Amino acid sequence: MLISILIIIQLVSKSQSFDFKGKKIDLKNICDGKGFMDDKDAHSYLDKICDAAGIANNFLMVPCSAIDNCVAINRDGDAFILYDNQFFNKLKSISLGFITEKKISSTTTQDWQALTILAHEIGHHLNQHFSKSVLQNVSRIDLELQADEYSGGIMYKLGASLIDAESVFNALPEKATLTHPGKSARLISFEKGFNKEKKKAVVADASIADIKNVQIPAEFPGGLIGWTKFLEQNLNRDVPIKNKAPVGKYTVVVSFIVDKKGFISEIQAENDPGYGTKEEVVRVMKNSPSWKAAIQNGQNVIYRHKQSITFSVF
């Protein structure tokens, strides 16, 4: 064990590094190994990411105490990720104050946070951010944004909802530093990667997306009762009244794609009764939770769904 510790100290003293949070770290003194045990969860997280990316897990994970962070390091061509297991434990204990309508799997919100961070660090390695030419020609802020975009794509492949995957950014500062962009810029890059992979999934299954007669159509979680409750809580039914619509009914037909994981996309109104009703329906659908995916031959399939929403003015 003593030999391993000495090697790590030499490693971090001569290496390039990137960390997720932008915290300044003294890499010369962080890996003392005192009272520290390896965290098996960290390795399992890394396996999940590599499986989703379709790459071999040839990364070297090194536990380092008291850094409160996760850091990508390159040493003589070897890809290291240094981490503090207290950092991952802290993620698991965070109370976020919200509950998503539907969990894609048994993975918890805190697990998604840890996966998001690790995917970000792997993004530094896979995007060659440690090469001399890249370091000389690309700013540190742009490198961080590239890693965020990569992480977003991986989170979609793993089945995370955008809300869960982005939650780790909540504690980051809004203001940029010399090396790290502000929170808003990072969220934009993360969502870019997430939506890019979502679009690829839709294109790859384009032949399935237009199926109308599936065995089990896509459904809002909770069925008709859940859908009615969602509209009651989110739809502003007074929109046509405020826009001085005459007495009558105004029905908007909206279409969208429900992918294999239940995420919805390509939301568009197929008609416009006017008085702000179309815009209100599109707004509400953009805030919809994930749906239950359509099923054909026992498999989830991408499904193009139509839904009508009616406003009444008395």
Same domain assignment for residues 238 and 171: no
Distance from the Cα of residue 290 to its chain's centroid: 14
Same domain assignment for residues 16 and 161: yes
- The answer to whether the CB of 262 falls within 8 A of the CB of 104 is yes
Rounded distance between C-alpha atoms, residue 87 and residue 67, angstroms: 8
Same domain assignment for residues 302 and 235: yes
Split into its structural domains, the chain has a count of 2
Same domain assignment for residues 224 and 147: no
Quick one: which of 215, 207, 276 has its CA closest to 245? 276
Same domain assignment for residues 122 and 219: no
For the entire predicted model, the pTM comes to 0.57
Domain of residue 278: give its range: 209-313
Same domain assignment for residues 139 and 265: no
One-letter amino acid at 240 equals P
Rounded distance between C-alpha atoms, residue 93 and residue 70, angstroms: 17
Q: Which residues contact 90 (CB under 8 A, 6 or more apart)?
A: 68
Same domain assignment for residues 63 and 158: yes
* DSSP letter assigned to residue 292: B
Q: Which residues contact 157 (CB under 8 A, 6 or more apart)?
A: 52, 53, 197
Same domain assignment for residues 220 and 200: no
- Residue 100 class from Cβ within 10 Å (0-12 exposed, 13-18 middle, 19+ buried)? middle
Same domain assignment for residues 118 and 219: no
pLDDT by residue for the chain (314 residues), tens only, comes to 222 222 333 344 345 566 666 655 554 544 544 333 445 666 777 887 888 788 888 888 877 765 666 788 887 778 888 877 666 665 554 433 222 222 333 345 556 787 888 899 899 999 898 888 888 899 989 999 999 999 999 888 877 778 878 888 888 889 998 888 999 999 999 999 998 887 776 554 444 444 456 788 889 999 889 998 999 899 999 999 999 999 999 999 998 888 888 988 888 899 999 999 999 999 999 889 999 998 888 888 888 888 899 999 88
Domain boundary among 180, 204, 228: 204
Rounded distance between C-alpha atoms, residue 65 and residue 29, angstroms: 10
Same domain assignment for residues 115 and 222: no
Same domain assignment for residues 121 and 225: no
Quick one: which of 27, 94, 15, 189 has its CA closest to 180? 189
